Amino acid sequence: MAKNYPFFTYFILLITITRLTSTTVGKTDQCKTLLPPELANINTISTKLHNDPKTIKIASSDYGNIIHEFPIAVFHPSSIQDIITLIKISYNSYVPFTIAARGQGHSTNGQAMTHDGIVVDMASFRKQRKGVAISVFEDPLIGYYVDVGGEQLWIDVLYATLEHGLAPVSWTDYLYLTVGGTLSNAGISGQTFLYGPQITNVHEFDVITGKGDFVTCSSEKNSELYHAVLGGLGQFGVITRARISLKPAPTTVKWIRLLYSDFSAFTKDQERLISINGRKLNFLEGMLLMQQGSINNWRSSNFFPLSDQHRIASLITKHSIIYCLEFAKYYDHQSEKMVDKEIEILLQGLAYIPGLHYEKKVSYVEFLNRVRSGELKLQSQGLWEVPHPWLNLFIPKSQILDFNSGVFKDIIFKRNITSGTVLVYPMHKSKWDDKMSAMIPNEDVFYTVGFLHSSGFDNWKAYESQNKEILKFCTDAGIKVKQYLPNYSIQEDWKKHFGTKWKSFLESKHKFDPRMILSPGQKIFNK
C-alpha cells in the first residue's frame, strides 16, 4: 500500500488538474462535483496552472543544478487569495498534493522543488501581484519599517527604501534572493554580528499555513507560528508579507581587506573586531585565498592592485592558504578624514602581514550589491548555471582551530579542487533568537564557513565527496557543527539537526501543516 501511495496521489491530482484546466462548462461542472463545494472560484485557479516544458524545466532546477524534481504543474498566482485557494484544495483533498513555494530557486539541493505536486512561482507572483508590494512607514513605537511582499527581491527592497533615505540593516551577500526565501533560512552576512540575521529584524509577517489559513503573526500575536516560520524551511506556511525594520541609510563605505598567513591571528582579530563596543565597524567577513583560486575571483574582483598581485601569489605558494579579513565602515555626513582616523585606530594592534592592507571607497549600494557584477560576468560566459555543490556550516568558536587544521589545511589542501569562494567569519549567538526554528551551535561566538563551490558538469561528485569527508571529519573529531541551508534526506538526520527543538518543530508541523503539504523539497517529512 505504502508503495502505491505516490502513484495514487499523482493519479488523483492528474484528474484534478485535467478538470481544472478544462474550460468547457460541462467539464467545469464535473470539476466542481469532484472538489469541495466551498471552492466555487476554482476557475480562477485553472488558468494559472502551467505545465509547458519550459515552465516545468525552470521549476525542476535550481542554483545547485544537481537535483531535478519534476512538478505536475507550476502555479502563477496573481493574488494572495489564489495561493489560499490552491492550498485549501490540497488540504481538503482526499489525498493532498504537495506545494512548494519557489522564490528565485537559489537553493542548491532542490529545497524549492516537488516531484509530485505544484510549484508556486513567486517570481511570477512578483510580476502579477496587484497593489504596492514595498511600502515604507513610520511608527512611534517601532520607528521606521517597510512592509514587503514575501516574493520580493532584497535588491528591490534596497532601492525602494533608499528613496526614503532608509534601509534594512541585516543583509545577505547577494541581493537577488527573495524575502520569503531568506527568512525561511536565516539570512546572514557581514552585518549579522551586529544586527543578528535577517530573521531577527522582522516585526511581523503574514503567512498562509498548510491549512490555507491566512495569519498575521509577531512575537506577541500568534507567536508560535511566528517563531516556527522564521528559519522554518518553508514547513509551516507561505510568507506573503514581512514587516522589516529600517534605519537611516549611509551613503558611503570604506571597505578594508587585511591579509594573514596565520589562521589563529586571523580569527583572533576577527573576534576582537566584532566585540568592540560602540559600533566602530558595520560589517565583517573573511575568506581563504588559495593557490587554486585566482586572487581576484569573481567575488573579489579588482580589489588587490595589480602591482601587489605577484607578492600575494607568492605568499599563497609559500603558506598554501592566505586568510583575508574583510571589514567595512559606513559613513555619510562625517568627513572622510574622521573615518580614516577611526579606521587607523581599528587597525592598531591587528596582526595582519605588515603592508598587506587594502582599502576601497564605494557607495553603499555598490557595497551591498558587490556580488552582482561578478554574477553578470559569469552569466555572460555561461558559467553561472554550472553545478554548485555548496556546503555551509556553523562552527563553535572553541573548535575553529581544529577545523582549520583538519579541513582547510588537510582536506581542502590535499584534494586541491576548491577554486571558488570559501567564507569564514564569526558572529554572536546573543543576536539570534533561540525560539526561532533556525539552528546554530550552542556557544557565545560561532563561525560560519561557506564552501561556495562551482564545478563543471561532470565533476560535481568530487565536491560532494569532499563535503562528505568534511562532515565526517567533524563528526569524528567531535566538532559540533550545524549545517546552514541544511541538506539532509532522512528524518533521523533532521532530528539530530534540530536536537532539543525537534519536538516543538514537529508539534508546529502538526498544527500548521498537518497534511505535510508544504516545501517537500526539504525532505523533512516525506515518506
Ligand X SMILES: *[C@@H]1O[C@H](CO)[C@@H](O)[C@H](O)[C@H]1NC(C)=O
Ligand Y SMILES: Cc1cc2nc3c(=O)[nH]c(=O)nc-3n(C[C@H](O)[C@H](O)[C@H](O)COP(=O)(O)OP(=O)(O)OC[C@H]3O[C@@H](n4cnc5c(N)ncnc54)[C@H](O)[C@@H]3O)c2cc1C
Residues that bind ligand Y (CB under 6 A): 63, 100-107, 111-112, 122, 150, 172-174, 177-178, 180-182, 184-189, 233-234, 238-239, 485, 519, 521-522
Residue 114 touches which member of ligand X, ligand Y, none, C-beta under 5-8 Å by kind: none
Q: What is the grid cell recorded at 446?
A: 560561532
CB of 60 to ligand X, least distance (A): 17
Residue 454 touches which member of ligand X, ligand Y, none, C-beta under 5-8 Å by kind: none
Give the residue with the Cβ less far from ligand Y, 116 or 312: 116
**Collapsed DSSP state (helix, strand, coil) of residue 291:** coil
Evaluate whether 180 touches 207 at the Cβ level (below 8 Å).
no
Catalytic site residue 106? yes
Dist. CA 49–CA 267, nearest whole Å? 51
Dist. CA 371–CA 487, nearest whole Å? 24
Selecting among 106, 115, 388, 453, the annotated active-site residue is 106
CB of 483 to ligand X, least distance (A): 10
Number of helices followed by number of strands (H, E) in the chain = 20, 19
Selecting among 204, 206, 285, 326, the annotated active-site residue is 285
CB of 40 to ligand Y, least distance (A): 26
Residue 184 touches which member of ligand Y, ligand X, none, C-beta under 5-8 Å by kind: ligand Y
If phi > 0 it is left, if psi is from -120 to 50 it is alpha, else beta; for residue 394 that is: beta
Query: Residues 451-490 vs ligand X: string with x where CB under 6 A?
Result: -------------x--x-------------------x-x-
Asked if 387 is part of the footprint of ligand X (rule: CB under 6 A), the reply reads no
Q: How many whole angstroms from its chain centre is CA 76?
A: 23
Nearest to 66 by CA among 523, 455, 489: 455
SS3 content of the chain, % helix, strand, coil (to 5): 40, 20, 40
Q: Could you tell me how many residues of this chain bind ligand X (CB under 6 A)?
A: 10
Catalytic site residue 285? yes
Question: Could you tell me where the beta strands, DSSP code E, fall in 419-523?
Answer: 421-428, 445-452, 482-484
CB of 234 to ligand Y, least distance (A): 3
Residue 517 touches which member of ligand Y, ligand X, none, C-beta under 5-8 Å by kind: none
CB of 425 to ligand X, least distance (A): 21
Q: What is the grid cell recorded at 102?
A: 519557489
CB of 448 to ligand X, least distance (A): 17
Count of C-beta atoms within a 10 Å radius of residue 94: 8
Catalytic site residue 224? no
Count of C-beta atoms within a 10 Å radius of residue 442: 13
Evaluate whether 21 touches 46 at the Cβ level (below 8 Å).
yes
Place of cell 487569495: 81
**Close Cβ partners of 304 (under 8 Å, ≥ 6 residues apart):** 257, 295, 296, 312, 358
Query: Residues 261-300 vs ligand X: string with x where CB under 6 A?
Result: ------------------------------xx--------
Give the residue with the Cβ less far from ligand X, 185 or 467: 467
Dist. CA 285–CA 172, nearest whole Å? 12
Among 109, 161, 282, 418, binds ligand X (CB under 6 A): 109
Residue 293 touches which member of ligand X, ligand Y, none, C-beta under 5-8 Å by kind: none
CB of 293 to ligand X, least distance (A): 10
Q: Can you state the angle between helices 491-498 and 502-512, rounded to 10 degrees?
A: 120
Query: Which residues are catalytically annotated?
Result: 106, 173, 285
Binding footprint of ligand X on the chain (CB under 6 A): 109, 291-292, 389, 391, 416, 464, 467, 487, 489
